Amino acid sequence: MDDLESDFNLKVVLVSFKQCLNEKEEVLLEHYLAGWRGLVRFLNSLGAIFSFISKDVVTKLQVMERLCSGPQRDHYSSLQSMVAYEVGNQLVDLERRSRHPDSGCRTVLRLHRALRWLQLFLEGLRTSPEDARTAALCTDSYNASLAAYHPWIIRRAVTVAFCTLPTRKVFLEAMNVGSTEQAVAMLGEALPFIEHVYDISQKLYAEHALLDLP
């Protein structure tokens, strides 16, 4: 696995998500995971505040990398081939975690949910005024995505922690693409690719009734 403590650059994430879809609009897991590694660097660059998400994401990335390099790796080239393989061979726990607690389908679903939160938050950063409160942006994004899957005590701790977030300017500078205006422009280019990958993944999981895996 790449060093997830190294500097983040939004351009790397943009390239990864641009390359994420092939001509059949299949989600290529190699590039999906590379995009996530870049997003983890972004979260880590902001300090411990997002560690509750980034640590879990790193664990999920490690699970997926083992599957993608394991004996059945040919089935893990794309999200579509993975779902077909695992569902077709009953390798997914549909009602409760038992025989297959770390299936690829369950693991990517957790990344998929977190991606929605990040997408909403970054879009909020992109479109908000200079004096926007990042705590409010992040809380709104969290409540519209990940909060539904966390118990009350986690939701409470997370929203309190968000109150210590740095300013919008600090977030945009952490993207390492130049001025805040350049960061906003780069987000405008990157986010449609991230959203498209999310939408295709969401549709695939819905079609196979996998959106509520335990």
pLDDT in tens, 4-45: 545 677 888 888 999 999 999 999 999 999 999 999 988 888
Residue 132 and residue 123 in contact, taking contact as beta carbons nearer than 8 Å: no
Q: Mean of the per-residue pLDDT values for the chain?
A: 91
User: Model's pTM, two decimal places?
Assistant: 0.92
Burial class (CB in 10 A: 0-12, 13-18, 19+), 214: exposed
pLDDT of residue 10: 84
In order of their start, the domains of the chain are 10-208 (1.10.3520.10)
Rounded distance between C-alpha atoms, residue 208 and residue 203, angstroms: 9
Any alpha helices (H) in 128-173, and if so which ranges? 134-143, 152-162, 168-173
- For the chain, residues with pLDDT lower than 70 are 1-7
Rounded distance between C-alpha atoms, residue 156 and residue 92, angstroms: 31
